Structure 1
């Protein structure tokens, strides 16, 4: 028998977390954005001489990622936290291909949706709205995986 306390409201229902936990999760999201910035830079550099158009598209997508990371950074500060980037730069450069995998953007968007729900649950609807703006901006840009796959499909190497 399902009781009201064991019934799950929705698979999208935000999990309740403490402010410190939420700040840690936001910092993880910020680190993820920083990893994506490095990946965009790596791919823009790789493609610069062989496919200038794709390199320019990757650069534009990377600029949008920079804006998203800055928005997350400001959000962390506005929530009363301190930005802590736990990214190893060499590791980010060497593992740029992970960001270019198809599931990276989907997972990033899922995490950001979760953060928006958690911020709403924490009584911060304004901050949640800012996270939703980041999500909307990310959806408006073609993911790195698609840019790289499109280039591979065209036969360019």
Structure 2
């Protein structure tokens, strides 16, 4: 017999984490944004000689990624943490193709959405709202995968 205590939680319900765990997750998101910044720079440089317009578009969306990283950086400080970037720069440059994978942008949005829910659960609705703004900006941006695949289609002609 089922009792009232066996209520199934939604898969979208935020998981409750400690403040230190949340700071680690936010730092991981910051590192992810930094990896995306390097990838945009790598692809802008690779395409500059073939298509100046495509390189400019990639660089512009890379600048938006920088703004997202800065917002995350400020958010970590405002939450009482320290920004720790665990990114190896050479690794980020050599593995830029991982950011250009079509699954990168949806995974980033999922993680940020999860972080917003966790911040709300932690009693930080203002910080969660900042994450929501990043998510909103990313929805309006063209993912690197689309920019690169469009550039490759033009280069293949």
Q: TM-score, normalized by length of structure 1?
A: 0.96
Query: Is the CA contact (8 Å cut-off) linking 1:61 and 1:141 kept in structure 2?
Result: yes
Distance 1:152 1:83 in 2: 36
1:153 equivalent in structure 2: 153
Distance 1:36 1:2 in 2: 47
Task: Provide the alpha-carbon RMSD of the alignment.
Answer: 1.4
State how many pairs are aligned. 157
Query: Is the CA contact (8 Å cut-off) linking 1:40 and 1:59 kept in structure 2?
Result: yes
Query: Is the CA contact (8 Å cut-off) linking 1:51 and 1:156 kept in structure 2?
Result: no
Offset at residue 3 of structure 1 (A): 4.7
Offset at residue 4 of structure 1 (A): 4.6
The 1:74–1:95 alpha-carbon spacing in structure 2 relative to 1, beyond 3 Å, is: same
Q: TM-score, normalized by length of structure 2?
A: 0.96
Distance 2:24 2:5 in 1: 27
1:43 equivalent in structure 2: 43
What secondary structure is seen at the aligned counterpart in 2 of 1:154? helix
Distance 1:56 1:143 in 2: 14
Distance 1:4 1:91 in 2: 51
Distance 1:31 1:119 in 2: 18
The 1:128–1:3 alpha-carbon spacing in structure 2 relative to 1, beyond 3 Å, is: farther
1:74 equivalent in structure 2: 74
Q: Answer yes or no: is 1:117 the counterpart of 2:117.
A: yes
Query: Is the CA contact (8 Å cut-off) linking 1:109 and 1:135 kept in structure 2?
Result: yes
The 1:3–1:22 alpha-carbon spacing in structure 2 relative to 1, beyond 3 Å, is: farther
The 1:76–1:53 alpha-carbon spacing in structure 2 relative to 1, beyond 3 Å, is: same
Offset at residue 69 of structure 1 (A): 0.1
- Unpaired runs of 5+ residues, structure 2, are none
Offset at residue 156 of structure 1 (A): 3.8
